[in-house]
Structure 1
Amino acid sequence: MRLVLASASPARLAVLRAAGLDPVVRVSDVDEDALLGAIPDAPPAEKVTTLAGAKATTVARAPDGAAEETVVIGCDSMLLIDGELVGKPHDVDTARTRWKAMAGRSGELVTGHAVLHVVDGEIERVAEGHAATTVRFGTPTDAELEAYLATGEPLVVAGAFTLDGLGGWFVDGIDGDPSNVIGISLPLVRRLLGALGISPTDLWTTPRAPSPPDYPRGHGSH
C-alpha cells in the first residue's frame, strides 16, 4: 500500500518519517484564499478541515501513473488567537505584528486532517477530523524577535512560529498533542486510518530497532 502526503511541509514529512513511514510527497494547487472565501462564517475547525480535504482530494485525483492501492493524507494548520484564524504571515511586518500580539499569551493551533483510501484510481473512502493544541508563547526580547524574523522561518509557517525549529525557543509550553503543533497529529491520523480499516503499522517501512546504548555494567544492568 502506497502512502502519499499531500503537503509540501518538511516538518510533516519529518514527523511521518520519524514514525516509521516514508510517504511520497505530492503538492496540490488548491487556491486556499478562494476556498476560505467561500466559507467565511464557518467555524475554525471546519475551515482547516475543508482545506485539508481539498488538498488531499486534488492530489488523489491527479493522474501520476501509479495504479497501486494508495492512502493520501492532507493537512492544513492555522492558529486561532483572539477569535481570529491566522495562517502564514508571508512578510516580516505581518509576522512581527502577530508576535507582538501573541507574546506572553496562549493560542490554539488547529490542524485539519483528511485521509483518503484510493483504489484503482478512485477514492473509495474518506475520513476527516481536526486536532487542536494550546500553545503558550514566551516573550522574546525585541532583539530576539528581530533575529528570529531575519531567519525567514516565521514567514512561511502557520501562526508565525514552529515548535520543532528556531521558534521553539519562544514557546513556553503546550497543552495537548505536540505532533499536531508541528503540523500532523499522529494520534488523530491513527484514528482516521482506523476508520478506514487501516493501521499505521500496515504503512510502516521496515523498522529497525535502535541499538542499546553501550553503558558500563553496574547499577540497573540487569
Structure 2
Amino acid sequence: MRITVIEHEPEAGLGYLGEWLGLACDVVRPYLGEEIPARPADGLIVLGGAAAAWEDERSPWQPAARDLLRRAVEEGTPTLAVCLGAQLLTMACGGTVERGSNGLEVGAREVVALPAAGDDRLLAGVGTAVAIQYHQDAMTRLPDGAVPLMTGAQYTNQAYRLGEAAWAVQFHPEATPEIFASWTAESDLDVAEELNAEVKAAESALVATWRPVAEAFAEVIRVRGDQSQRTRCL
C-alpha cells in the first residue's frame, strides 16, 4: 500500500503523519517542478500551503491538484485533504471557497464533532478537541453530498466527508509545534511567541487526538486495498 502526497511547499510537509500512517508515502513536490500524477496510488493526501485555492497564477499546479482530487473522489480512493488541500477538494467538487469574513484563524483552537461524526471511520470518538489552525480562507459552501463532521466557533466548516472515502479538514492534524513555529516565524503576527507556546502546551493533546485519526485513515487504505486484491483474484 502506498500513498500519493501532494506537498505545496517545503514548510508544510507531512509532519506527524509521516510517522503515524505506517505506510509508504510518495511525496510529489510540484513547486520543484515535479508533475502531479493523473491518478493517485492506493491513497491520497493533499497538504496545506500559503496560496489561496483559487490563486492558480501563484501555484500553477493547482488545477492538476483539483483534477486529481476530483478523480480520487469519483473512484473512491481514500483521500485526506488538509487546509489548502481541503479547499482545493471543495472547489474541485463544486463547493465554494472564499476569503474568510472572520479573519485569520490561528493557533491551538477548539473543534467540535457534529452528530454525523459519531459513526465516521476517521472521526468517531473525537468529540471536542484541540487542533492547530492557520488559515484565512474558508469553505463557505460544501460540495453537494458532503457530510459535515466538525465545526468551530470562528469558522463553521471544519471537516467533512465526501463520497465513499474522502475527508477534508480545515485544520492541521499533521502539524508539529516545530512546524507551526516555522509558520509564525515567517509572519508578522505580534503574538507569535504566545501562539507558539499555546501550541507547544497542547502537544500531548494533539498527539492523543489526531494520531488515532491518521491510523484510521491508513486502515481505510489497507481495507480498500485488500478488497481490490480479492476482487482481482475472483
TM-score range relative to shorter protein: 0.3 to 0.5
TM-score if structure 1 supplies the norm length? 0.32
- The structure with more radius of gyration: 1
